[in-house]
Chain A
Amino acid sequence: MMDTVLGFSVHMDFEGQKLAERLFQIIVVTFGAVGWLYGYYVQDFFMTVLTLGAGFVLACLVTLPPWPVYRRYPLKWAPPQDAASASTSGAENTSGKKKKK
C-alpha cells in the first residue's frame, strides 16, 4: 500500500528522498547560521529562534509535500510473474517487499 494523506499519494522515490533530506538540511542550517549571526548582532536570542523557525517552515513547505521534483525516478519493477509458475510463499514474500518500498 502506498501511503496517502487525504487521498493523495505522498511517497517520494529514492532519489527524491535523498534530495529532500539534503535540501532541508541546507535550508535549516543556513537559516540557523544567519539567525545566529543576526541575533548576535542585535543581541537578542529570540531573533535567532524566530529565524530558525522561519527556516523550519520553509523546509517543511519545500520537502514535506511530494513535489514532482522528488518523483522523477520511479522504480522500474520487473513484470509480474505468473503466480502458478513461482512457489506461492516466495511470490508473497517478494510482493510484500516491493510494496514496503
Chain B
Amino acid sequence: MHTFLSRVNAVSAFSLSTLAALTFLCFASTFFINYTAPVTINAANIVLKNVPEYAVSREKNDLGALRFDLSSDLTPLFNWNTKQLFLYLTAEYETPNNKVNQEVHVTTHSVCVPSFNSEKWLSLSWGFQVVLWDKIIRRGDASLVSLKNQHLKYYFWDDGNGLLGHKNVSLSLSWNIIPIAGTLPTWSGTGTYKLTFPAEYTQGRTY
C-alpha cells in the first residue's frame, strides 16, 4: 500500500473479488425461478415417406415431414441472469423398436436425443425423442415467438417403420436457459401437440 503500484494492485484485486461476489449473488437470486411457460403448437401438411437413408444403410426408413405453427411469450424467461435461450422442438413417441424410457437403438443422427446405450440419458425419465427444429433467442431479441407454417430444420427419421399410422407422436418445445453466471437448466413449455401420421406412405416428391 505504500507505493502507487501496490495500491493499484490492492484496489483492482478487491474490486474483482467484489464483482465475483455480486455475480454469485445474481446467480443465487435467479436459481429458484420457475422457467416454464405456456406454448401453443400446431402442425399441418403431415407427410410420411419411406425412403432409404443411405448414411445408415440401404434399408428404407420412415421419414416424416410437416409444417408447424408455434406461439409462446418467452418474455418472462428473460431476467437479469439470462443471456440467451436455446429453444428446441422435439417429437416424443414410442414404437415397438423404441420403448419410452428403455434402451433405445437409434440411427446415427446427432439430432436423436438418446445416444447409444447411454446410461445417463436412460436415467433421465425421457422418452424416445427426436429434435426437429431449434432456435436461439438472444437477450434483446424479440421474445414473443409467433411462427407460422415453419419447415422442420432437421429430418424426422425413424429407425424403422415406426411412424406409419402412429397416432401418438407428441410435439413439445423445450429450452436451455443460457445464463450470465450459474447453471444451464433445461425447462419445457407446457402444451404439446399430438401428431397423427397417415397410415399410407406418400410417393413422389410431394412435401
Q: Is the CB of A64 within 8 A of B19?
A: no
Q: Is the CB of A32 within 8 A of B19?
A: yes
CA distance A39 to B81 in the complex (A): 10
On chain A, the residues within 8 Å of B12 by CB distance are: 56
On chain B, the residues within 8 Å of A3 by CB distance are: 2-4
CA distance A11 to B80 in the complex (A): 42
On chain B, the residues within 8 Å of A11 by CB distance are: 2-3
The CB with the most chain A CB atoms within 10 A, among B12, B18, B26, is that of B18
Q: A36-B26, A43-B79 are in contact. Are A63 and B11 (CB under 8 A)?
A: yes
The CB with the most chain A CB atoms within 10 A, among B11, B12, B22, B26, is that of B11
Residue B184 at the chain A interface, CB threshold 8 Å? no
Residue A5 at the chain B interface, CB threshold 8 Å? yes
Q: A64-B4, A64-B8 are in contact. Are A45 and B18 (CB under 8 A)?
A: no
Chain B's closest residue to A44 (CB) is B80
Chain B's closest residue to A35 (CB) is B22
Q: Is the CB of A28 within 8 A of B14?
A: yes
On chain B, the residues within 8 Å of A21 by CB distance are: 1, 10
Number of A-B contacts (CB under 8 A): 71
Q: A12-B2, A40-B80, A45-B26 are in contact. Are A29 and B18 (CB under 8 A)?
A: yes
On chain A, the residues within 8 Å of B3 by CB distance are: 3, 10-11
Q: How near does chain A come to B58, taking the closest CB pair, in angstroms? A: 54
From B4, B11, B25, B79, give the contact of A28 (CB < 8 A): B11
Q: A24-B10, A24-B11, A36-B26 are in contact. Are A52 and B19 (CB under 8 A)?
A: yes
Q: Is the CB of A40 within 8 A of B29?
A: yes
On chain B, the residues within 8 Å of A32 by CB distance are: 18-19, 21-22
Residue B148 at the chain A interface, CB threshold 8 Å? no
CA distance A48 to B27 in the complex (A): 13
What per-residue 1/0 map shows which CB atoms of A37-74 lie under 8 Å from chain B? 00110111100110010011001100110100000000
Given contacts A11-B3, A12-B2, A56-B15, 5 further A-B contacts (CB under 8 A): A10-B3, A24-B14, A45-B26, A52-B22, A60-B11
Measured CB to CB, the residues of B under 8 A from A are 1-4, 7-8, 10-12, 14-15, 18-19, 21-23, 25-26, 29, 78-81, 180
Residue pairs across A and B with Cβ atoms less than 8 A apart, 9 shown, are A17-B2, A24-B11, A40-B29, A42-B80, A43-B79, A45-B80, A48-B26, A60-B11, A64-B4
